[in-house]
Structure 1
Amino acid sequence: MARISLDLANQIIDHARKRSRELKYRPASVAVVDDGGHLIAYGREEGVGLVRAHIAINKAWSSVAYGVGTRAIGENLVGFDHWLIGAADMVPGHRLITSAGGVLIQDQNGVTLGGAGVANVEDDEGVAAFAVEAVGLVAFVGMGEHG
């Protein structure tokens, strides 16, 4: 598989929304980007605030931009607050997100196809990883970790 189609992105979003409801979490905000960080699809459930859209999209973008899940970005920056402040200023639109919920989407060979970001649910990372794996792809959540 060379890329994530709109249909596949929407399947990932649907799986994330269904998983969030199954676990009785808050309404989900879900985004899928390609390997260049460009938005393919976004979906939200009723009751999700506007800012959650930006968070989900930027979680997906951050995972692709840094090559790891967003939780790993945050963990790797512990004690480097000065770097984080500088990096956030250098990232266009201040898009860097360092909290869990952004995962890389990879094929079975470890090739990165894009990223998925989930916001507003109690386990953003778990829901994102579940959704990616539900469509037969690999969710890369951190440094050497898969969902």
Structure 2
Amino acid sequence: MMSKLTIDAARTIIRETLAKAHDMGLKPMSVIVLDAGGHPLAFEREDGAAPGRYAIAEGKAYGAVMLGMPGSAQMARAEAQHYFMTAANGAFGGKVVPVPGGVILRGDDGEILGGVGVTGDTSDNDAEAALAGIAAAGLKGDA
């Protein structure tokens, strides 16, 4: 395992996430990798994916990084305490998309290195593809 998020790792995550999505027979995907500050390192939108998927992918990854919880936990929190996620999203300018497919990237010590946002198919399928891409890059994913 590695404990640093590099541009090469980000490119590997994207390439291998898309490969997993193809193996799974998913719809056209969009994948973004953000650093620990929530800034984009790399993004790719496949042919046939709607242009608005950039904002969705970024929102999934951004919420994971900024809240320190994966999309699945954000969705559960939104269902249990809607007011909290609404307030948090307001604090972040409406950028958070609290559903699966927003995955935290962690180093060996558990430190948050960044986040991955995947969108295009069902949220659970998006998350599964992301985890495969993250593992291929030698990092840990928290979906």
TM-score, length of structure 1 as denominator length: 0.89
Shift of the alpha carbon at 1:53? 0.9
Letter of the 1:126 partner, please give it. Answer: E
Q: How does 1:42-57 map to 2 (within 5 A)?
A: 42-57=43-58
Can you list the C-alpha shifts for 1:100-127, whole angstroms capped at 9, x where unaligned? 1011111222121110010012311111
Letter of the 2:139 partner, please give it. Answer: L
Q: CA RMSD in A?
A: 1.4
Q: 1:134 maps to which residue?
A: 136
Shift of the alpha carbon at 1:50? 1.1
CA pair 26-125 structure 1, distance change in 2 beyond 3 A: same
Letter of the 1:130 partner, please give it. Answer: A
Q: 1:144 maps to which residue?
A: none
Letter of the 1:129 partner, please give it. Answer: L
Q: 1:69 maps to which residue?
A: 70
Identical amino acids, percent of aligned pairs:
29
Could you tell me how far apart the structure 1 residues matched to 2:140 and 2:86 are?
Answer: 31
Q: Are the aligned partners of 2:101 and 2:118 in contact in 1 as well (CA < 8 Å)? A: yes
Can you list the C-alpha shifts for 1:74-125, whole angstroms capped at 9, x where unaligned? 1022232233333322212x11111110111112221211100100123111
CA pair 87-134 structure 1, distance change in 2 beyond 3 A: same
Shift of the alpha carbon at 1:60? 0.9
- Structure 2 spans left out of the alignment, 5+ residues: none
Shift of the alpha carbon at 1:68? 1.3
Q: 1:120 maps to which residue?
A: 120
- Structure 1 spans left out of the alignment, 5+ residues: 142-147
Shift of the alpha carbon at 1:2? 5.4
Q: Count the aligned residue pairs.
A: 140
Shift of the alpha carbon at 1:61? 1.1
